[in-house]
Homo-oligomer: A and B are copies of this chain.
Amino acid sequence: MDASKIDASKINAGDRALDGAEVGRLRQALDEQEQRSLRLLADFDNLRRRSAREQDAARRDGRRVALLPLLSVLDTLERALAVGSTDPAFYEGMAATHRQFMTALREAGAEPVDSVGQPFDPSIHEAVATSPSDSVEPGTVVRELRRGWRLGDELLRPAQVVVAAAPKARDPWR
């Protein structure tokens, strides 16, 4: 058989088979690429949402880091004011500083935690002592030793409190 004589119909059939395989391969590759794009799009959306959340968290974290050490400064100022002074003019200057301090903390988004008279709440109160009482319900906060602060929905630091315990039962033998 003459090698130069080619059976055209066979070549066509061969090409035909090749094209068919190529179509299959391409369809699969296209399908994979489409799936990949969809996953990337979903990842992208997730990242965008997470990024917005993380930005809010970072902003709050920045405020928290800045405010926490300053709360102790306010504590010191309040302890000194509680002692009082023999110099009324100077004392008034410090009382004004204190009022401005409270306002600045509120401007920064911090709010004092309610404690005295409230039911003890372990999510915002830290009980450092109990005290028997017959004037208030057991479990009520009767004294605040250190003010607690919130920052938005978060707790900056818990209030340190004394909680009412049930009054001691009277000794029936006395």
Contacts and interface: CB of A to CB of B under 8 A. Distances in A.
A97 B73 contact: yes
A55 B26 CA distance: 42
A37 interface: yes
B51 A77 contact: no
A100 B70 CA distance: 8
Stoichiometry, copies per complex: 2
Interface string A65-87: 11101101100110110011111
Interface string A31-52: 0011011001101100110010
Interface in A9-40: 9, 12-13, 15-16, 19-20, 22-23, 26-27, 29-30, 33-34, 36-37, 40
Chain A, interface size: which category?
A: 35 or more
A105 to B, nearest CB: 8
B69 A66 contact: no
A15 B34 CA distance: 26
B19 A109 contact: no
A91 B105 CA distance: 24
Contacts of A56: 58
B37 A47 contact: no
Nearest to A26: B26
Given A70-B70, A70-B105, A83-B90, 10 more contacts: A30-B30, A33-B36, A47-B47, A47-B51, A51-B55, A55-B55, A63-B66, A76-B97, A80-B94, A80-B96
